[in-house]
């Protein structure tokens, strides 16, 4: 039995890890709306979600049955076979969910656990059928095949229904409230709040009461038989309460969003906790049952099909781990950010690139829309356009900071997700919580015109990528879990240790990779542009963006020149792959400056600040660096001849000179009095470039055949020209900042 005790220990170690990676992915279900509209400070949002998670653990005991008997029939499996299935499931789950978290893609933990159970049970069942020389038709004895069909149907149903309902309801909600919704809340706020909280109350009752360990069966039955009456009282009561709160100047939308966040967090813990600890608990139950037998290895696990009470302390411990993950997991923030970015109201740096499919979808949509507006009356079209006035404006919070979407859309997101999940649960339809919340958010963003002509191809491709990942989840989970089960079945203890080490190694590597690709993604201070803001105050914060930008430039440009002289292809490839950080940092600066210009008071804008020149120089610097790295890599990747040693020596000298210039810029951002040093370093670069150019001309005039290479000469001259342009743009940018902005900032600090 020692090996099975070790397997059980591994299962619970994996359970803790799975809680971390699982919550990292599922946090998007209940946090994206609250974070997207910034309904409250981060710690308040997480506190509300944490209370919901703790409450949800009290409702989750009934869901633990799924892991033990929902997918397969345990009475036909021996104890060693079930432990093989459970271990294969958990190893697969932690690897797969961590992969999705690393790339910031939301997926369904329910779908993953179901298809992992199905895949591993299928593999073990096939082995049993072959060993017993049974007919393949006997597979139905072991596997509950209808469950997989229901889950696949649930994926399709979730995507179509949630997106369609999101578009329709948000469209009519915006028609009623418009983007200037605060004025309309006086008339309709009470009713809207009543509907929202009634739906959320219904959601909590329907989703929570079924699995509540602290409720008697009579209480549950009474609630289910009086749902209609409870909802009527709830609607009337909440409507009165919210109307009174609005008259008392309380922002009722904030209450709706926070209560909705609590409700979805409760549902997540109540229903999805089984995805993370259900299998280890099933393994514990199996071990306890087997220990009572004199011959555990030949024991059929019929007792596992019965009801088993789950220790509330285990559920509470799992809830505390989930809460810790919410607070500390960087990957959870990445998954949430993906959902928020795809639904944000304003344009900016897009996470996903365009694709052929997304471009065709946009073209087709434009043609359909153009045809549609031809057949509707112009008066109706103009009225609708008037109601949607303001759709293209950047949404800001009370402090003037840009937010992804407003409180009204966040409320609709939570309202619709609650209603759809509640209805699906009451009708026993297998809708996925992840799919519903994500697709509702995408539908409401489309209705709000968040997907404009300049962002639609990127947003649509992002949605397609996420949806594609959902379907891959089922296939990968089934295949990998089945493969692991076969290896463990035949490999015994050696396979257990080998695959366990492999799983932890892959997770370790993914964390290393994630930390490497996000090392530049340090949190930045938010812009705060209110009615009384000045250019100096806002650009003092932009100064931090510039420091980060030039740090990245210095890191990748000079190291690329050095790598090129060493003919180091791998380093150049690494820099080329990381060059997107340069573009992203530049785009962030440009987007922030645009936001500053759009929101600064008119008196500040009229002072003639050269915002356009700053944006142009920033983008040009970004382009010059990225294009140079690409050319250097292309030369080596195509196996062209290395440059002559004297040229490489010149490039190293140039790299050092540019490094000194950029470092002087970074010093300048720390102390504006060092501008003279920037001028001196720039002059040094110019003098060096002039010397190198003259030397190149003299070399060519000598007509040294052994020194002649068309490609080498073209690339060398291109590098010199690019370096001259880069140095000039850097100096010009700092000059503009010094003359127009940092001087103003200094005056403001001195109270002038």
- Each residue's pLDDT tens digit, 671-723: 878 888 999 999 999 999 888 888 877 766 665 545 556 777 788 888 889 99
> Residues 494, 590: one domain?
no
> Residues 281, 373: one domain?
yes
Does 418 reside within a domain?
A: yes
The tokens describing 362, both together, are 């946009």
pLDDT at position 711 is 78
> Residues 586, 482: one domain?
no
DSSP state of 345: S
The arithmetic mean of pLDDT across residues 167-181, rounded, is 91
Query: Where residue 170 falls among pLDDT bands split at 50, 70, 90?
Result: very high
> Residues 631, 684: one domain?
yes
Lowest mean pLDDT among 100-114, 154-168, 731-745: 731-745
> Residues 507, 543: one domain?
no
Does the pTM of the predicted model rise above 0.95? no
> Residues 497, 572: one domain?
no
3-state helix, strand, coil in the chain (%, to 5): 80, 0, 20
> Residues 554, 626: one domain?
yes
The tokens describing 674, both together, are 């060092």
pLDDT at position 236 is 92
Alpha carbons 151 and 147: distance in angstroms, whole number: 6
Does 528 reside within a domain?
A: no
pLDDT at 267 over 80: no
Domain of residue 688, CATH code: 1.20.58.220
- Could you read off the pLDDT of 563-598 as tens digits, one per residue? 999 888 888 888 888 787 788 888 888 877 777 666
The arithmetic mean of pLDDT across residues 301-305, rounded, is 70
Alpha carbons 551 and 92: distance in angstroms, whole number: 40
User: Which residue has tokens 């949190």?
Assistant: 523
Contacts for 640 with CB less than 8 Å, ≥ 6 apart: 711, 712
Query: Where residue 475 falls among pLDDT bands split at 50, 70, 90?
Result: confident
Does 98 reside within a domain?
A: yes
Q: Which domain holds residue 237?
A: 2-515
pLDDT at position 271 is 67
pLDDT at position 172 is 92
pLDDT at 282 over 70: yes
> Residues 500, 550: one domain?
no
Query: Where residue 523 falls among pLDDT bands split at 50, 70, 90?
Result: very low
> Residues 497, 628: one domain?
no
Q: In total, how many domains does the chain have?
A: 2
Does 289 reside within a domain?
A: yes
The tokens describing 285, both together, are 């139950």
Does 637 reside within a domain?
A: yes
What value does the mean pLDDT of the chain take? 81
**Backbone Cα Rg of the chain:** 30
The arithmetic mean of pLDDT across residues 138-143, rounded, is 78
Query: Which of these three, 515, 549, 581, is where a domain ends?
Result: 515
Alpha carbons 83 and 618: distance in angstroms, whole number: 59
> Residues 128, 237: one domain?
yes
Does 520 reside within a domain?
A: no
Query: Where residue 247 falls among pLDDT bands split at 50, 70, 90?
Result: confident
Does 649 reside within a domain?
A: yes
> Residues 153, 256: one domain?
yes
b/e per residue 151-180 (b: at least 16 CB within 10 A): beebbebbbebbbebbbebbbebbeebbbe
The arithmetic mean of pLDDT across residues 244-264, rounded, is 89
- Could you read off the pLDDT of 324-373 as tens digits, one per residue? 888 888 777 777 888 888 888 877 677 788 888 899 989 998 899 889 88
pLDDT at position 22 is 77
Does 643 reside within a domain?
A: yes
User: Which residue has tokens 């250019």?
Assistant: 535
> Residues 543, 494: one domain?
no
Contacts for 745 with CB less than 8 Å, ≥ 6 apart: 536, 537, 539, 540, 543
């Amino acid at each position: 039995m020692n090996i099975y005790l070790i397997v059980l220990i591994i299962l619970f170690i994996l359970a803790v890890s799975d809680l971390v990676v699982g919550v990292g992915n599922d946090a998007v279900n209940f946090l994206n709306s609250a974070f997207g509209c910034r309904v409250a400070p981060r710690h308040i949002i997480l506190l509300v979600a944490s209370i919901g998670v703790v409450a949800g653990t009290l409702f989750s005991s009934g869901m633990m049955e799924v892991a033990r008997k929902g997918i397969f029939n345990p009475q036909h499996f021996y104890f060693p076979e079930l432990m093989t299935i459970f271990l294969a499931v958990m190893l697969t789950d932690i690897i797969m969910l961590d992969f999705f978290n690393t790339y910031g893609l939301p997926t369904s933990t329910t779908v993953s656990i179901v298809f992992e159970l199905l895949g591993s049970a299928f593999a073990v069942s096939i082995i049993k059928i072959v060993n017993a020389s049974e007919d393949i038709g006997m597979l139905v004895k072991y596997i509950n095949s209808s469950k997989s069909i229901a889950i696949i149907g649930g994926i399709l149903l979730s995507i179509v229904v949630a997106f369609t309902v999101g578009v329709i309801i948000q469209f009519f909600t915006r028609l009623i409230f418009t983007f200037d919704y605060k004025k309309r809340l006086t008339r309709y706020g009470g009713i809207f709040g009543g509907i929202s909280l009634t739906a959320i109350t219904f959601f909590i009752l329907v989703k929570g009461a079924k699995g509540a360990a602290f409720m008697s069966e009579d209480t549950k039955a009474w609630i289910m038989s009086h749902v209609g009456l409870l909802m009527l009282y709830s609607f009337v009561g909440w409507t009165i309460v919210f109307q009174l709160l609005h008259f008392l100047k309380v922002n009722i939308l904030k209450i709706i969003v926070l209560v909705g966040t609590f409700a979805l967090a409760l549902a997540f813990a109540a229903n999805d906790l089984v995805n993370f600890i259900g299998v280890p608990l099933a393994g514990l139950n199996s071990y306890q049952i087997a220990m009572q037998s004199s011959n555990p290895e030949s024991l059929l696990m019929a007792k596992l099909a019965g009801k088993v009470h789950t220790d509330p302390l285990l559920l509470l411990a799992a809830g505390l781990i989930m809460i810790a993950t919410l607070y500390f997991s960087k990957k959870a923030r990445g998954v949430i950010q993906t959902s928020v970015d795809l639904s944000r109201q304003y344009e900016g740096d897009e996470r996903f690139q365009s694709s052929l499919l997304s471009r065709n979808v946009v073209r087709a949509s434009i043609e359909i829309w153009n045809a549609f507006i031809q057949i509707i009356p112009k008066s109706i079209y103009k009225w609708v356009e008037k109601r949607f006035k303001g759709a293209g404006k950047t949404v800001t919070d009370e402090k003037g900071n840009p937010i992804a979407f407003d409180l009204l859309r966040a409320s609709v997101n939570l309202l619709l997700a609650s209603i759809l999940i509640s209805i699906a649960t009451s009708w026993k339809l297998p809708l996925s919580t992840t799919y519903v919340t994500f697709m509702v958010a995408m539908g409401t963003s489309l209705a709000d015109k968040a997907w404009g002509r300049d962002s639609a191809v990127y947003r649509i491709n992002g949605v397609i990528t996420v949806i594609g990942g959902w379907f891959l989840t089922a296939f990968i989970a089934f295949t990998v879990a089945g493969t692991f089960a076969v290896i463990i079945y035949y490999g015994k203890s050696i396979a257990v240790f080998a695959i366990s080490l492999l799983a932890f190694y892959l997770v370790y590597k993914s964390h290393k990779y994630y930390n490497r690709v996000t090392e530049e993604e340090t949190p930045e201070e938010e812009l705060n542009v209110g009615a009384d803001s000045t250019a100096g105050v806002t650009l003092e914060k932009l100064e931090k963006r510039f420091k980060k930008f030039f740090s990245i430039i210095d890191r990748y440009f000079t190291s690329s020149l050095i790598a090129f002289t060493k003919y180091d292809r791998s380093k150049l490839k690494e820099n080329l792959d990381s060059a997107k950080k340069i573009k992203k940092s530049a785009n962030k600066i440009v987007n922030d400056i645009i936001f500053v210009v759009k929101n600064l008071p008119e008196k500040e804008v009229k002072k003639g600040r050269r915002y356009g020149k700053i944006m142009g120089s920033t983008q040009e610097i970004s382009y010059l660096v990225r294009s140079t790295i690409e050319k250097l890599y292309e030369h080596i990747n195509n196996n062209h001849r290395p440059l002559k040693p004297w040229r490489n020596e010149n490039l190293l000298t140039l790299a050092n000179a540019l490094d000194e210039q950029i470092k002087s810029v970074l010093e300048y951002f720390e102390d504006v009095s060092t501008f003279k040093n920037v001028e001196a370093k720039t002059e040094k670069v110019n003098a060096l470039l002039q010397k190198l150019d003259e030397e190149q001309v003299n070399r060519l005039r000598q007509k040294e055949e052994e020194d002649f290479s068309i490609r080498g000469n073209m690339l060398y001259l291109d590098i010199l020209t690019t370096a001259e342009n880069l140095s000039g743009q850097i100096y010009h940018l700092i000059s503009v900042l010094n003359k127009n902005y940092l001087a103003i900032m200094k005056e403001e600090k001195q109270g002038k």
